Amino acid sequence: EGFTSVEQALAYQPLEHLDLREAEVIARMDYSRSVEDIARDMQGGPLPEPGGPRATHLKGGSFYNTLFMWPLLTFGWEIFLELAGGHKDELKRLMADFACLSRKVFQAAALTDLNYFVCHDDICMARGPVCSPAWLREFIYPYYEEFFGTMGQAGIKVLFMTDGNPDLIVDDVL
């Protein structure tokens, strides 16, 4: 919190800061909790039997920080974009660590009886993607494939939400 330089961001260890209940990251929770505890919170009570039926009514959940939002909200636009453009090896480590937080949420959702899940990332602005499609393919989409695959295997429909115009990348996201 309060990052003022790229050097501070490069030194950050997301997995050493798992209690984000007070952080300015939108999806505030204690990520040190177990997947099952997070799932019970999403479910609003006891978890259904594994492999049991999905809710028969429209029942959904959401997650604002799918992946791109983590460094954006943690470091701010300027530092994040400098990392994205000039520190790719270090950013890979940071993204892998941030993905650990998101992974818990998607694994937790898969244990519930939700039948849809809204995933949000501001990967686009009015003119299109914030970063190049090639950059997104390298840093973001492999995690989307994993996370959205977890939802699909559980029978949960994914609704992806982004600001701006996704026309240049819609096929990749789909």
CB-CB contact of 87 with 75 (8 Å):
no
* C-alpha distances in Å from residue 20, one per residue of 15, 73, 95: 11, 12, 17
* Average pLDDT along the chain: 95
pTM of the model: 0.95
* pLDDT at 4 (0 to 100): 96
- What does the alpha-carbon distance between residue 105 and residue 134 come to, in Å, rounded to a whole number? 26
Look at strands 157-161 and 116-120 and give their pairing: parallel
Q: In this predicted model, what pLDDT tens digit does every residue of 91-131 receive, in sequence order?
A: 999 999 999 999 999 999 999 999 999 999 999 999 999 99
Predicted pLDDT of residue 152? 96
Write out pLDDT tens, residues 52-64. Answer: 888 889 999 999 9
Q: In this predicted structure, what is the pLDDT of residue 1? A: 58
164 near 135, Cβ under 8 Å?
no
Q: Is the pLDDT of residue 16 over 70?
A: yes
Task: Measure the CA–CA gap between 114 and 56, rounded to whole angstroms.
Answer: 9
